[in-house]
Amino acid sequence: MSGNGCRKLEEDEAKLQALRRKLQAGENSPLVENFDGEEFLVAIHKKHAQ
């Protein structure tokens, strides 16, 4: 494999490892109780519409 090919493979592997860490952090995070998605979206829209 060429140097560029190896470098690309290493970059892709690093990105995959970072993604796996982020996914695991999400899996380990606490569950949110009583989450209202509609209410959340309304608040976000209000915040960013100003």
- pTM greater than 0.85: no
* CA dist list (Å): 1 to 4, 13, 36: 8, 16, 51
Residues 8-36 have pLDDT tens digits of 999 999 999 999 999 999 999 999 899 99
Whole-number pLDDT of residue 14: 98
**Secondary structure E strands in the chain:** none
Residue 1 has pLDDT above 70, yes or no: no
